[in-house]
Structure 1
């Protein structure tokens, strides 16, 4: 991005504290860049420490306020430690992006209980543990926004993606319930529902993936998803909670 384009970026998130899981690469890395460009202090967390550290250094070199910290989203003790870290440094949290997720392709017949549970632990329970741990800090924000990354395979299903689709469908129900429970605290909770996105996570997908079923005939770039995340995180979405923002190139309109 040129300096002129950087200066033209809206500054809707100035001074806000943002936490992004799965922040080392792909969508998470793009979200970290975009939220920081809009003025947020961003903490990216992941288990991919080398990539996360490199990302933070790259973005810091661009004068963006991004730091990295190790976090396994399936570990309650690590979430508790992260809560204490943020409480000591900032005393609040304004934006939580539950982006961490993994994909495994298998038929239901061939799926193992261990892999099934692992997918749900990362994709669904990770978001639950994250929100549960951060509620006290989000309450102190005054304009808190939680964004849970689902998928078009949540509402639609997809052969070979039983565990993944189940986890993403679960995130939709979790987001609606959290929105209802936390509205009185001024905490908005919405779900981002992407279609196909070009990231390292889907590099092993068969040729074409969802592209033939997508009217725009391509996958999204991570940056296109990040624009939606920045919107949901900002006061421009101040009357949105319990919603599903679908960014799928027309997939669900078929």
Structure 2
């Protein structure tokens, strides 16, 4: 994937202007200016507690800014995929029932014929149609992620927000996830994900945003994955090499690094 310049990003879907947000008088994000456009594929990187998940919630609308403003294009559907570790996997629900939750607002306690067809189609598209009647705790990490993506896609979103989508999955599942997201992006879905995986995920994305209580830097991986930006973002010196045209991050001792999670 290659970087996308401002002229090619398309119509603006969401804009944050001077946004401040905190919990219990503790500031988490300060003075955030960020826009997400219809052709964006953005990775948000930063250490634990830096405000990545809070930023997603502001974009989603579940958090409201305490200062500043958020402007959304009217009628834009947004899909959200949470971190797997935040889910109660013992909740008595099947894969198909979990996906159906995306349409519970229509008020009926049972799926319509259209619901069933749409659920089957989206599960088949993601390669987990055979798991529709399986309990959610019986899935692998990669299958669990695909289930939540299916639930998000049932809303036919123009913007997909994902919190650490490759956390807790193996290398093969991470590779498959990146291919899936690339395909969705090519079909016209704007995507914004948080990730702690600088080498396995972030370096492959068209645009990055480094966050640590504020926007430290944004741009292509070459512009963001640099020693000064990483040190300011993660609070520790990191070395950056180039391999096959992509930046590779090493820690201060010269080891491959995977920076801390959300």
Normalised to the residue count of structure 2, the TM-score between the two structures is: 0.34
Q: Which has the higher contact order (CA 8 A, sep 6+)?
A: 2
- TM-score, structure 1 as length reference: 0.35
Task: Give the structure with the higher percent helix.
Answer: 1
The structure carrying a bigger strand percent of its residues is 2
